[in-house]
Amino acid sequence: MGVKDHSPSVASVPADLVIVANRLPVDRITGPDGEPMWRASPGGLVTAIEPVLRANRGVWIGWPGAVTGAVTGGSEAGMEPFEHEGLQLDPIALSAEEIEGFYEGFSNATLWPLYHDVVAKPEFHREWWEAYVAVNRRFAEHAADRAAKNAMVWVHDYQLQLVPQMLRELRPDLRIGFFLHIPFPPAELFQQLPWRRQILEGLLGADLVGFQLPGGAQNFVRLVRQRVGHKTHRDLVYLPDGRTVRAAAFPISIDVDNFEELARKPEVIARAKEIRDALGNPRKVLLGVDRLDYTKGIHARLRAFGELVAAGELDVEEAVFVQVATPSRERVEQYRVLRDDLDRLVGRINGDYGRIGSPAISYLHASYPREEMAALYRAADVMVVTPYRDGMNLVAKEYVACRYNDDGALILSEFAGAAYELRQAWLVNPYDLNGVKDAIREALHADEKDLARRMRTMRKTIKAADITAWARSFLEEMDIVRSAHGKALLPADKT
C-alpha cells in the first residue's frame, strides 16, 4: 500500500539528469483518513526506470495519476517538487480535459492501439491531437526549467514524442535522449496517423532515439527518409542543421539482482507456500500477471487452459490458473469491453468446470507490492505470458529472475520483445490456440532436467543484460552521438 505524504517539498534546483515520463513512479491517492498518500504506479516503464534514477541521482518529471484532482493550467497546491524514498520527483498536474484528450484519447485510444499492431482499432480525433501537442509543450517547458546547463534530459515513451523537438528549441545546449517502451510500428500502419510527420520530427529533436528492437529502429529510419525526406545511412539520420540523430535498439530489462534477492527472502518463500496452500495445494500452479490490457492476450491463455480442462486433460484439483490483472485505463472504452469479456469468460469456465473450493481459474483484480509479486512468481510452476504484441514484457523477465533454483517453465509469446532474448521459453503464437495448448501441455509435463537447462540459460541472459547495463549503454551512446558532432562531453561522474 501507500505511504503517508509527509516528505517536505524540495526546491527546484537545476538537475544534471532529468527523466521525463508521463507518469511519476508514484501515484498520489487519498488514503482512508482523507489524507494524501503515495502508491507505486503501474507498468513496466516505472519498474525499469526507477532503479536508473536511484543510481544516477536525477529528477523525474511526470504526472502523479488521474486522482490528483488536477486543475486547468497545470498548477495546483501540493504539486511542488518533492522527495519520495530518496527520489527527487517533480509533478505536473493534468486537467480533466487534458486527461481526456491527451491521456485517454490520443495516447491510449490512438497511439497505443496503432503502435500495437492495431490489436484494437485506433481512433483519430483532431481535438485529441491538439491536447497532445499542448501537454507535450507543458512537459517540454517544465523540463527546460529544471535542466542545468548542458544537462542530460531523457524523455520516455509514446505519450511524449513531441517533447524532444520542443525542448531542443527551448534549450539547444541540452543532450536529449528518447526511449520508446512500446513497439514502433511498421510504416504500413504508422502511415495511417494523420500527424505522422509531426511525430517523426518531434522524435528527431533527440540526439539518440532508442527502441526495444532493431526492427523498430529500422521502421523509424525508413519513415524519416520517406516522409520527412532527410538523408539516412544505416542507423543515422542527417538533419539539414548539421545534427546527427542515431536510432538504435536498447532492449530494456529489470533490476535482476533485486528481484532475486526478494525471491530469496524467507518471508517471500513462506508466502509462496501460503499461496499454494490457499489454492488447495494443487500439483501445478499456472500464473498470468498483467495490466488489464487487450494487448496482453489474457483471453487467449485462459481459453487455451479452459479447453484443456473441458477436454478432461487437466483436472481442476490438480492444476489451477491464477490470473492477476490490475485494472488499467478504465475510462477508455476498449478497456471496459475487455474487462467485461474476461469476467464473462472466467465466469463461464469456473461455472462449467470448477468444483466447490476448486475454481479452475483464480482471477484477481489487484495490484500487489513487489514482495507479493515475487511470492507469486515463486509459487508458480508455469508462467504464461501471451501478448498479441508487447514492446518487451518485464513480467517474463521478473519470473526468470525469481527462479533461482533453475526450475519453473515460461510460456512466452513470440510477439513480445522479450522473446528475442528468452529463446529457451516455450515460444507461442497467441493467435494459435492449439499451439498455446501444446505449449501448456509440454510445460506441465517437462522433466526437471529440461526445465533446468532452459531456465539456467535464460537466467544467464537476463543477468548479463540487466537494467544497469541497459541505462549505461544508452547514456554512453548518447554522449558518443553528441560528441561525434562536436557539441558534448560526458558529465564529470560518467567519464
For ligand ADP, the binding residues (CB under 6 A) are 42-44, 47, 289-291, 324, 326, 366-368, 373, 392-395, 398
Which residues, in sequence order, are CB contacts of 490 under 8 Å at separation 6+?
476, 479
329 binds, among ligand ADP, ligand G6P, none (CB under 5 to 8 A by kind): ligand G6P
350 binds, among ligand ADP, ligand G6P, none (CB under 5 to 8 A by kind): none
16 binds, among ligand ADP, ligand G6P, none (CB under 5 to 8 A by kind): none
393 binds, among ligand G6P, ligand ADP, none (CB under 5 to 8 A by kind): ligand ADP
C-alpha 411 chain-centroid distance: 19
The reply on whether position 64 binds ligand G6P by CB under 6 A is no
**Residue 390 main-chain phi, psi, to 5 deg:** -150, 135
Of the listed pieces 37-45, 261-269, 356-364, 397-405, which binds ligand G6P according to CB under 6 A?
37-45
* CA dist., res. 371 & res. 367, Å (int): 12
Q: Between residue 96 and residue 135, which ones bind ligand G6P under the rule CB under 6 A?
A: none
Nearest to 157 by CA among 203, 126, 193: 203
411 binds, among ligand ADP, ligand G6P, none (CB under 5 to 8 A by kind): none
* CA dist., res. 234 & res. 214, Å (int): 11
367 binds, among ligand ADP, ligand G6P, none (CB under 5 to 8 A by kind): ligand ADP
DSSP state of 43: S
Q: Across the chain, how many H-helices and E-strands are there?
A: 17, 19
> Order of strands, edge to edge, in the sheet holding 147-156?
82-84, 87-91, 59-63, 15-23, 147-156, 175-179, 208-211, 244-249, 236-238, 231-233
Among 19, 25, 39, 44, binds ligand G6P (CB under 6 A): 44
144 binds, among ligand ADP, ligand G6P, none (CB under 5 to 8 A by kind): none
For ligand G6P, give the closer residue by CB, 328 or 362. 328
CB atoms within 10 A of CB 188: 8
- Closest distance between ligand ADP and the C-beta of residue 47, in Å? 3
Of the listed pieces 38-46, 183-191, 309-317, 483-491, which binds ligand G6P according to CB under 6 A?
38-46
Among 26, 45, 262, 488, binds ligand G6P (CB under 6 A): 45
DSSP 201-226: HHHTTSSEEEESSHHHHHHHHHHIII
- Closest distance between ligand G6P and the C-beta of residue 328, in Å? 5
Among 16, 90, 98, 157, binds ligand G6P (CB under 6 A): 157
Closest residue by beta carbon to ligand ADP: 44
* CA dist., res. 495 & res. 475, Å (int): 11
The 8 Å CB, 24+ separation contacts for 119-123 are 119/294, 119/295, 119/388, 119/389, 120/294, 120/334, 122/192
Residues that bind ligand G6P (CB under 6 A): 22-23, 42-45, 157, 181-182, 328-329
